[in-house]
Amino acid sequence: MKVDIIRILRQPEYTGENRCEPCTVLNLIIAGLFSSAIAWKSKIGGVTTFGVSVGLIYLCGYLVPGTPRLTKQYLPQAVLRWFGKELEFETLNGLNTASAPTNNTNSQSSQVASHDPGTMTEKIDPHKYLLTERILKPCTDQDDLCLTEIFKEEWNEKMVELATENLDGGKGASALELEAKGDSFEIEQYGDAWTLVSDSQILGQWPSHAALLADIAAAHVLDKRSDQWNELASSQKGQILTGLRLFLEHCPGSKGPVSLNQKTVESCCSSYEVITYSCDETGERLFEQPLE
């Protein structure tokens, strides 16, 4: 019977590794104050109340109903930082733009590589670059920017071609013009992240295989059509390729539609909104960005 009660009360989503330290501390303070008030009339009652409260906090993660929801909604980010619980969303948006996956068991560095064979290293405005290189143009039917027809056609053709091939690390690194003397390249998957790695470094992470395919296809076309492409640093290329994905009208390699969505990302103690651009049929994310 005792075991059954413990099993009923236990909430794994709020205990163990998922325990919210700010919630626990707050509830222990409340339990202490409530027990102290009872102890004024009965010391035994106060001690018993505190013991039961600590047990509930241990099993459930909290004492006051709704604590996790209230903490996410009202607890300041500064307080979460004190406990190391500030929500950090790992944006996987391509070449040289993301951190290394934490479950990587190989001997690669934990830092993203900076392979910059190009000569231009100043900050770049992707839209200005794409307009100058005639990749983007003002839309004819709306106040926005659109892909030029010739680039869109060549990009789509390349994506369809790559979708039928075995996309390996060597081809990916070659298309993105990444060079590492003596290194071999591999494409590896860690959860949702698709990672391009060399023997010793992580070169970039993408939120899906479709996003990686789109970037490699775009790099092929840009190398052929843009005079400045070879002069750019890889970090600049990453910004441009990431921006281009927002102009996709279909999921890379298919005719499936894409759409812009908003979702809530949660940790034990906080939550915030993220904008995603995804393939409707497969759910593959092409772009993701926290909403400020």
Whether residues 187 and 48 fall in one domain: no
pLDDT of residue 112: 38
Instruction: Give CA 39 to chain center in angstroms.
Output: 49
Tokens 């005079």 locate to 227
Distances (CA, A) of 265 to 103, 244, 261, 275: 20, 25, 13, 10
Please give the Cα distance from 196 to 227 (Å, whole number): 26
pLDDT of residue 137: 93
Of 22, 55, 82, the last residue of a domain is 82
Residue 289: inside a domain: no
Whether residues 18 and 138 fall in one domain: no
The answer to whether 241 and 95 are in contact (CB under 8 A) is: yes
Residue 173: inside a domain: yes
pLDDT of residue 115: 45
pLDDT of residue 104: 37
Residue 111: inside a domain: yes
Q: Is the Cα dihedral 51, 57, 59, 65 positive or negative?
A: positive
Residues in the chain: 292
Whether residues 50 and 131 fall in one domain: no
Whether residues 151 and 228 fall in one domain: yes
Q: What is the pLDDT along the chain (292 residues), one digit of tens a residue?
A: 444 555 555 655 566 666 677 777 777 888 888 888 888 888 888 888 888 888 877 777 767 766 666 565 555 555 555 545 555 556 677 887 543 333 333 333 333 344 444 444 567 888 899 999 999 999 988 888 999 999 999 999 999 999 888 877 887 888 887 765 556 888 888 877 888 888 767 888 899 999 999 999 999 999 998 888 988 988 899 999 999 999 999 999 888 999 988 877 665 556 667 888 999 998 898 998 877 6
Residue 133 backbone dihedrals phi, psi, to 5 degrees: -85, 5
Residue 23: inside a domain: yes
Residue 267: inside a domain: no
Residue 282: inside a domain: no
Please give the Cα distance from 231 to 77 (Å, whole number): 41
Provide the residue range defining the domain that includes 41. Answer: 2-82
Whether residues 121 and 173 fall in one domain: yes
Whether residues 17 and 150 fall in one domain: no
pLDDT of residue 247: 94
* pTM of this structure: 0.65
pLDDT of residue 166: 81
Number of domains in the chain: 2
Residue 19 backbone dihedrals phi, psi, to 5 degrees: -65, 135
Whether residues 100 and 223 fall in one domain: yes
Residue 73: inside a domain: yes
Whether residues 55 and 107 fall in one domain: no
Whether residues 99 and 239 fall in one domain: yes
Neighbours of 83 (CB within 10 A): 15
Q: How many CA atoms lie within 13 A of 217 on its CB side?
A: 27
> Measured at the alpha carbon of residue 112, what is the angle toward residues 102 and 20, in degrees to the nearest 5?
35
Residue 55: inside a domain: yes
Residue 70 backbone dihedrals phi, psi, to 5 degrees: -65, -40
Whether residues 98 and 239 fall in one domain: yes
DSSP state of 238: H
Of 82, 107, 139, the last residue of a domain is 82
Whether residues 15 and 142 fall in one domain: no
pLDDT of residue 106: 36
Of 26, 53, 82, the last residue of a domain is 82
In sequence order, the 6+-apart residues with CB closer than 8 A to the CB of 2 are none
Distances (CA, A) of 199 to 107, 113, 179, 238, 246: 8, 11, 12, 20, 31
Whether residues 149 and 32 fall in one domain: no
Tell me the residue ranges of DSSP E strands in the chain. Answer: 94-95, 136-138, 145-147, 186-190, 193-197, 202-206, 258-266, 271-279, 285-290
